[in-house]
Homo-oligomer: A and B are copies of this chain.
Amino acid sequence: MDTEATAARIADGDRRALARAITLVESGREDHRAQAIELLEALKRLKRQAIRIGLSGTPGVGKSTFIEAFGCSLTGRGLKVAVLAVDPSSARSGGSILGDKTRMERLSREPGAFIRPSPAQSQLGGVARRSREAIALCEAAGFDVVLIETVGVGQSETVVAEMSDLFVLLLAPAGGDELQGVKRGIMEMADLILVNKADGDLKPAATRTCADYSGALKLLRKRPQDPEGFPKAMLVSALEEEGLEKAWDEMQFLIKWRKENGFLDTIRAEQARYWFREEVRQGLLRQLETGAAKAVMERLGTEVARGEITASQAARTALARIADR
């Protein structure tokens, strides 16, 4: 691969070059990894930035419909929108369940939109790195907004929040008791809660749910990176395309405020540092899966399982062997 030429094509907004570059960062091959890093370093010089919006919602809240409607409203304003997916479950389910273009037909036909499904990878660590690097590629390709969607399971929300400028939680109208269904930790990550399906029969329930969450958000400790009134809960209807512009206005306001008050840069710097550390950690642990270290781990593991040696003694021995190699 000619790094400079590829970088130039991506910078020119060439979709095919962008798609191939994302495939490159998804690859596990060592030579691909070296190329990917070289490409990312080259593109970094452009210093292009998009608004990175993390979006989480459990199945059934209307995530695809929302992204389709919200994405089209942004392209309608002349903005270029990329949609990426962080889906740790895709390996298990045997295929991507997020970022599926057939679920967002209208948006996928928009010239200003780029949709990339989640790759089939088992490790959340791998998915995270790929997503982080795909965001950087989309920014270099000149997108104004990068939407990173995930399902509300396990650790994937934390992963997405750690690579977003703002984190949106999409919810469906619920019965009065269901407030507890959203874990406190997830609530604390949200900058904006959008209660979807505020239409037809569900409107009263949506209004009530939104009021419940507004109340709950007020009880959270105020974070320095929030202007007055944030985090905030709002009603939207993806189906009737209502509330989408207002939601976008709020997002822009929040980003602008954070930029002016220095928080946007600080948050991105801390996120970059976090991912650097995470990647080193993952890299260190990967050495246990290969070569001499793997053999040591297997042999000692068997001795531990047989009860011939304590786990503590075996761990000490293994660490000494790995350090000596």
Residues B37 and A319 in contact, CB atoms below 8 Å apart: no
Contact of A319 among B181, B283, B301 (CB under 8 A): B283
Return chain B residues, CB-CB under 8 Å to A285. 281, 284-285
Shortest CB distance A270–B (Å): 7
Residues A277 and B297 in contact, CB atoms below 8 Å apart: yes
Shortest CB distance A126–B (Å): 12
Return chain B residues, CB-CB under 8 Å to A322. 280, 284
Return chain B residues, CB-CB under 8 Å to A181. 180
Shortest CB distance A275–B (Å): 4
A132 within 8 A of B: yes
In the assembly, how many copies of this chain are there? 2
Residues A304 and B180 in contact, CB atoms below 8 Å apart: no
Residues B40 and A310 in contact, CB atoms below 8 Å apart: yes
A241 within 8 A of B: no
Could you tell me the distance between the alpha carbons of A285 and B300 in the complex, rounded to whole angstroms? 19
For window 25-68 of A, CB contacts with B under 8 Å fall at: 33, 36-37, 40-41, 44
Pairs across A and B, CB under 8 Å, 27 listed: A33-B316, A36-B312, A37-B310, A40-B312, A40-B313, A44-B307, A44-B310, A175-B177, A177-B177, A177-B178, A180-B181, A269-B307, A270-B305, A272-B304, A273-B302, A273-B311, A276-B304, A276-B315, A280-B315, A280-B318, A280-B319, A281-B285, A283-B315, A283-B319, A284-B287, A284-B288, A284-B322
